[in-house]
C-alpha cells in the first residue's frame, strides 16, 4: 500500500506563544479491514495504518493507536499548544512497514 499514499495536513502558519491551535490531517489509504472477502470468497488480508504520531520540536502532541474500524482515508482533528516557533512532525505507520511523514513549520510571535 506504499504507492499512492499522500498526507494532507493543515497547520496555521503563525500563532502567538502558548496559543492552542487546531490541526487537521488527512491521508489517502485503503485501510483494508481484514473483514472483507474477494469475489472468490477469500478473506482480503488486513492492511491498515496502525499508528499516527504528532510531535512538535521533539515533544509529543498526540499518539493514536489505530484499528481497522478507522475509515478509509483516515482523518484526524485535534489541538496542540505552541510554546515557540518550530516544526510539527507527522508520522503514519503502515502494517507493511511503510512510514509516511510530513513536516509543517509554524512561526510564533
In Å, how far from its chain's centre is CA 8?
A: 9
SS3 8: strand
Q: How far apart are the first and last CA of the chain?
A: 40
Q: Is 107 in the site for another protein (CB under 8 A)?
A: no
Q: Least distance to another protein from the beta carbon of 40, Å?
A: 20
Q: Which of 3, 16, 60, 109 binds another protein (CB under 8 A)?
A: 60
Lookup: cell for 21: 491551535
Interface with another protein (CB under 8 A), residue from 14, 43, 72, 105: 72
Residue closer to another protein (CB basis): 67 or 96: 67
Selected binder of another protein within 14, 43, 79, 87 (CB under 8 A): 79
Can you name the residues that pair with 8 across neighbouring β-strands? 26
Amino acid at each position: 500500500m506504499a504507492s499512492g499514499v499522500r498526507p494532507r495536513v493543515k497547520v496555521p502558519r503563525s500563532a502567538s506563544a502558548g496559543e492552542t491551535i487546531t490541526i487537521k490531517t488527512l491521508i489517502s489509504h485503503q485501510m483494508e479491514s481484514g473483514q472483507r472477502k474477494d469475489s472468490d470468497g477469500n478473506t482480503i488480508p488486513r492492511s491498515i495504518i496502525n499508528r499516527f504520531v504528532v510531535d512538535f520540536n521533539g515533544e509529543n502532541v498526540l499518539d493514536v493507536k489505530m484499528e481497522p474500524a478507522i475509515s478509509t482515508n483516515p482523518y484526524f482533528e485535534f489541538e496542540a499548544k505552541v510554546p515557540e516557533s518550530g516544526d510539527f512532525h507527522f508520522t503514519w505507520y503502515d502494517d507493511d512497514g511503510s512510514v509516511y511523514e510530513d513536516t509543517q513549520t509554524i512561526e510564533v510571535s
